[in-house]
Amino acid sequence: MEDASACPAGDANGFPGDYVDEIARAWDRERPGTPTASIGVITRIWRIGKILSDERRRTLARLGIDAATLDLLSTLRRSGEPYRLTAGEIAARTLVSAGAVSQRVTRAEREGLVTRRRSGGDGRHSYVTLTATGHALIERSVDDLLRHEDSLLSALTSEQRDELATLLRVLSSSLA
């Protein structure tokens, strides 16, 4: 990662500069008139996303669960008892394709984390249910993961976290 101290100039609020500020300044210098205002937001979100993605991958590896399995088991666990959803409901809640859900369920089923049963009626729907083994895995994983991710936000006050969440919600909604 680049050394932020190499970019001493800060912003109007007195916050120290970082590598993203240097990127914007370099474009301003090299291509005057090029619109660079988005760099301060988009590039920081992209960089933070990469850092957080790497952190999550390392944490999940330590916990013995991959991101796709975490997503599947978390979705089932959050659904409430009896921790059962159709494959279509899982796809809608996880924003992945039906094919990806099928692959995730097949793998989790092989590992004994979920069961898949056809509906008793016409058999068109397949229900995925969290097993006791899957329930135990998500219960022990989610607390450790969320505790670690909370620690990653320790530089922000509670009010700053709320404000950032609100701003990101607005941006996310506008892009959806």
pLDDT above 70 covers what percent of the chain? 88
Q: Which residue has the tokens 């088991």?
A: 73
Give the C-alpha separation, 23 to 127, whole Å.
50
Query: Is 85 exposed, middle or buried (CB count within 10 Å of its CB: 0-12, 13-18, 19+)?
Result: buried
**How much is the pLDDT for 176?**
85
Q: Are 101 and 94 in contact (CB under 8 A)?
A: yes
Residue 96 domain boundaries: 65-176
pTM metric for this prediction: 0.78
In a domain, 6, yes or no: no
Tens digit of pLDDT for each residue in 87-103? 999 999 998 999 999 99
In a domain, 116, yes or no: yes
In a domain, 119, yes or no: yes
Domain count, the chain: 1
In a domain, 3, yes or no: no
43 pLDDT band (50/70/90 cuts)? very high
In a domain, 56, yes or no: no
What average pLDDT does range 49-56 have in this prediction?
96
In a domain, 142, yes or no: yes
Average per-residue pLDDT for the chain:
90
Give the CATH number for residue 119.
1.10.10.10
In a domain, 15, yes or no: no
In a domain, 79, yes or no: yes
* Long-range CB contacts for residues 19-28, cutoff 8 Å, separation at least 24: 20/44, 20/47
